Amino acid sequence: MNIISAFIVFENLHEVRRLCHWGPIIALTVIAVCSSMAILDSIIWYWPLDTTSGSINFIILINWTVLILYNYFNAMFVGPGYIPLEWKPENQRDTMYLQFCRVCEGYKAPRSHHCRKCNRCVMKMDHHCPWINNCCGHQNHAYFTTFLLLAPLGCIHAALIFIMTMYSQLNDRISFGWSSVKIDMSAPRRVQHPIMLFSISAFAANLFALGLALGTTIAVGMLFFIQMKVILRNKTSIEVWIEEKAKDRIQYYQTEEEFIFPYDLGSRWKNFKQVFTWSGTPEGDGVEWPVNDKCHQHTLTIEQLKQKADKRVRSVQYRVVEDYNGAWCPLGKGINTFFRSPCSEEPRIKLAKGETIFATRGTKWWMYGDKVLDEEKTKVGLRVRGWFPRRCVEKCHYDSANNTPACEEKKDK
């Protein structure tokens, strides 16, 4: 009993609940199917005890599985690292350059962002990944990216094994006639292996596993290239978006300022080493970062504050004229609203007639914004924002005489 308790840290046992989510369930199922089928096919096609090359093939296949699972579970359970609750900078004067998080009741350190699903401010947040049911950030960025590299490589190896197994097993069972091709799965092979037999069900399972392997190679491989692209510039996916909005803000207001991304060290190798280290532990404490010579620690946070102020200026006030239950694809709001729901994990918010919303962006059929709440809910840090159908709201027109919104009721057609 003492041996078992030595391996289990009970204060972290709640992290196991991350496995009870559709993302890890699907990811681990794909890994299990491809790995187990590849191992079984290796026994049928290239028995590892017969030749040295067969043994090497089998060992490499096992290593793929071990390394993939090692990096996957580290990305999930090590986590991104979180800013301490009620965090404040050592120099109190720096608070004027930082955003305040009402949920965590502290300031957001440079490069950190609040994750609605984790309900914490995450160090160097890149994104919240449903496949690991956790955020990708400062501490697990290397594990996550390594997993994205190893998974396609392992799937390519497995796909080759599937193809060679099906070829070698069908080669002796296919007979060609003048006008037909016959496949007899019950016919014995000329070189019959005594360990396992290849049947019709095994052939179908191989085709299914081959489809999973090829699909995973393409999908995860694309994610790997996207991650490496931002890592080599020492950015995150969120910071790429912030940089684009900075250029848009400067162009919109025709200011003469120049925005320089502060964390690009000017060398891809230096940027690479900020994430990948021999120890596996990334450089830095997740709060202070090495910056470009022309910038300082709060260059990005100052730009974020400018964008936040600009967002308030550009936001448009709307009044709810139709109730909305928060469904992702509502049936009663029109065909276009149903089929053109935003492809985003951002939440949908319920609407009640008469409520007020400040919209910040949108599409032709959907809008994204913040619901105006009463003072009590605002003081406790409650914030309700997300997508809602455009047809459920109408724009509030301001009366220039008293500067108050004058929303007209939508006319029934």
Task: Give the count of beta carbons closer than 10 Å to the beta carbon of residue 336.
Answer: 14
Unique residue bearing structure tokens 């003072």: 375
CA separation, residue 260 to residues 263, 294, 295, 406 (Å): 9, 8, 7, 42
| Confidence at 184, pLDDT banded by 50, 70, 90 | low
Question: Which among 263-267, 282-286, 340-344 has the top mean pLDDT?
Answer: 263-267
Location of structure tokens 């694309």: 222
Domain 315-406 has CATH 2.60.120.10: no
Q: Per residue in 224-271, pLDDT tens?
A: 999 999 999 999 999 999 999 999 899 888 888 889 999 999 999 999
- Nearest-angstrom CA–CA distance, 400 and 215: 58
Q: Find out whether 104 and 78 touch, Cβ atoms under 8 Å.
A: no
Average pLDDT on 69-85 reads 95
Please list, in sequence order, all residues whose beta carbon lies within 8 angstroms of the beta carbon of residue 328, skipping any fewer than 6 positions away: 341, 348
Residue 168: which of 43, 330, 55 has the closest Cα? 43
* 174-176 and 393-395 strand pairing: unpaired
Catalytic site positions? 129
Q: Distance between CA 2 and CA 185 in Å, rounded?
A: 53
Q: How far is it, in rounded angstroms, from Cα 329 to Cα 100?
A: 34
What confidence category does residue 220 fall into, taking pLDDT thresholds of 50, 70 and 90?
very high
> What per-residue confidence (pLDDT) applies to 408?
47
Look at residue 186 and tell me whether its pLDDT is greater than 80. no
pLDDT recorded at residue 195: 54
Neighbour tally for 253: CB within 10 Å: 10
For residue 373, with 0-12 CB atoms within 10 Å meaning exposed, 13-18 middle and 19 or more buried, which class applies?
A: middle
User: Residue 251 corresponds to which tokens in the numbers above?
Assistant: 């162009």
Average pLDDT in the 392-410 region?
A: 61
From the list 61, 75, 78, the residue with the least C-alpha distance to 148 is: 75
Name residues whose C-beta falls within 8 Å of residue 253's C-beta, 6 or more positions apart in sequence: none
3 state SS of 86? coil
- For the chain, the domains span 18-79+140-176+191-231, 92-122+233-307, 315-406
In this predicted structure, what is the pLDDT of residue 345?
76
The answer to whether 304 touches 242, Cβ cutoff 8 Å, is yes
Report which DSSP code applies to 100.
Answer: E
d(CA 66, CA 146): 13
Asked if residue 344 has pLDDT above 80, the reply is no
Q: Token pair for residue 69?
A: 């699972």
* Residue 317, burial from CB neighbour count under 10 angstroms (0-12, 13-18, 19+): middle
Report the distance separating Cα 85 and Cα 101, nearest Å.
Answer: 10
